[in-house]
Structure 1
Amino acid sequence: MPPAQPPSVLESLARRHGVLMVMDVVESVRLMEEDEGGFVRRWRRLVEQTEQQVLPVHGGRIVKSLGDGLMLEFGDARQCVGAAFGIQQAAQDLNRPLEAAHHLCLRMGAHVTDYLCDRFDIYGSGVNLTARIAGLAGIDQLLVSAGLRDQLTAGLHADVEDLGECWLKHVRNTIRLFRVSAPGSATSAPAASS
């Protein structure tokens, strides 16, 4: 009888389905170079508010900290969008006493997808796609995939703008994206090129 084969890496991971959001600070390298201590203090305060005040209300959790960004996980699309608006508001509140050049300006991308996870991290092409969507977002924008937009119910208080089919870096096919913003706060700024 041949020896038993060890389980594959994939067999040791749990499969999940949910909504992922990636957010990061625009021009974080410049902000860090100009005032490392101030940037870190402001960023840590935003992460703390996100973890303690925003995510408990919207059923989300921090999957990982990226140094100048976060990857977040949610059970559904409405929770994700509600949390995005809450995080944007928290950042605006932190920015209020500062000159514009020192603001923490966020860009966010969200996608509903399947992924693999263990106790340390999450993995899969959907994770990478979510990060690419965030990379296309402009300053203070939330971009979402068509799959996520389709899960938003008609009662959601948000402005949704169809951006059409978009090319994402290192992604073979185009993906239809939507800009989602709190009512009346929609920005005319274009999505950033990536």
Structure 2
Amino acid sequence: MAATRRLAAILAADVAGYSRLVEADEEGTLGRLKALRAEVVDPKIASHKGRIVKTTGDGLLVEFSSVVDALRCAAEVQAAMAERNGPLPRDRRIDFRIGIHQGDIVAEDGDIFGDGVNVAARLEGLAEPGGICVSARVQEDAAGRLDLTFEDLGGHNLKNIVRPVRVYRVPIARTAVTAPLPLPDKPSIAVLPFQNLSGDPEQEYFADGMVEEISTALSRIRWLFVIARNSSFAYKGKSPDLRQVGRELGVRYVLEGSVRKGGSRVRITAQLI
């Protein structure tokens, strides 16, 4: 079949922490994921006129003709998943991360290619577990047409994408009042983004890299549960109450800090709560 070009809304989704879930309980994880696809995800996609282009072990790529349909589908899926995950301990929850972009695609032999697909996949990687990230194109088209809000995360340089993409987070309303998450059986910690006190925006990369290194080092400790980076970075640029953060993320400890660079010297401070 000859290749055709068209404008489409692309939804990319994957399961956060899939490898960890499979390692802990392969048969149970695959069974629960299959049930969620059959009972929640696939019916929502069909009801909003989406087409599942391809699936992987932990993710899927979906094409919609309408941005509104794509975003409404994503919001309903995440709301349903939050309700299902509510009673489960954190280490057994299946959380999807979703990215949506509207762009030009090339369709051939049932598959789709192009920047529209690539950007959606990168946005998915920026979303927190249970969250949705969209591009400015999606935000502009959907604003005022859906009962959703958009939190501006600023411009991002996405891997293999030439131009910066403005990213928006779409908060999903939880049913009723969200109860504090149950604490894992083993010690648990969230490493929040460190503040850049240098007055130099370029030092943001250094500060974020420092947090990633700390999180990676801590995650190697078998008896310590470390919250995923995407969940912790949802608090970037904010000044939250750390005890409230602990309750929201379901961890016993929260690490915060700051980075200040002056000349050839760097000062890093950290506080464990």
TM-score by length of 2: 0.61
2:234 & 2:156 partners in 1: Cα distance?
Answer: 10
Tell me which amino acid in the other structure corresponds to 1:13.
A
Is it true that 1:68 corresponds to 2:68 in the alignment?
no
1:17 & 1:109 partners in 2: Cα distance?
Answer: 17
CA contact (8 A) 2:72 2:146 kept: no
Residue 20 of structure 1 aligns to a residue whose secondary structure is strand
Partner of 1:51: 42
Measured after TM superposition, the shift of residue 126 of structure 1 is 1.8
Is it true that 1:21 corresponds to 2:64 in the alignment?
no
Q: Relative to structure 2, which stretch is displaced further, 19-28 or 81-90?
A: 81-90
Larger Rg: 2
Partner of 2:169: 179
Alignment of 1:69-108 (within 5 A): 69-108=59-98
RMSD: 2.3
1:98 & 1:119 partners in 2: Cα distance?
Answer: 41
CA gap of 1:184–1:93, structure 2 versus 1, over 3 A, is: closer
Measured after TM superposition, the shift of residue 67 of structure 1 is 1.2
Measured after TM superposition, the shift of residue 27 of structure 1 is 0.7
Q: Which string of whole-angstrom CA distances, capped at 9 and with x for unpartnered residues, describes residues 99-144 of structure 1?
A: 1111011111100011111233111122112111111111211110
Match of 2:116 among 126, 131, 154: 126
Residue 150 of structure 2 aligns to a residue whose secondary structure is strand
2:232 & 2:62 partners in 1: Cα distance?
Answer: 25
Unaligned runs of at least 5 residues, structure 2: 176-230, 236-273
Q: Relative to structure 2, which stretch is displaced further, 89-98 or 116-125?
A: 89-98
Tell me which amino acid in the other structure corresponds to 1:31.
L
2:126 & 2:81 partners in 1: Cα distance?
Answer: 20
Is it true that 1:41 corresponds to 2:31 in the alignment?
yes
Q: Relative to structure 2, which stretch is displaced further, 86-95 or 135-144?
A: 86-95
2:35 & 2:174 partners in 1: Cα distance?
Answer: 27
CA contact (8 A) 2:131 2:172 kept: no
Partner of 2:160: 170
2:87 & 2:174 partners in 1: Cα distance?
Answer: 23
TM-score by length of 1: 0.84
Is it true that 1:190 corresponds to 2:233 in the alignment?
yes
Residue 112 of structure 1 aligns to a residue whose secondary structure is strand
Measured after TM superposition, the shift of residue 153 of structure 1 is 4.0
Is it true that 1:147 corresponds to 2:137 in the alignment?
yes
User: Which structure's relative contact order is higher, taking Cα pairs within 8 Å and 6+ residues apart?
Assistant: 1
Measured after TM superposition, the shift of residue 176 of structure 1 is 0.4
Residue 233 of structure 2 aligns to a residue whose secondary structure is coil
Unaligned runs of at least 5 residues, structure 1: 1-10
Identity over aligned pairs, percent: 34
Measured after TM superposition, the shift of residue 189 of structure 1 is 5.0
How many equivalent pairs are there? Answer: 180
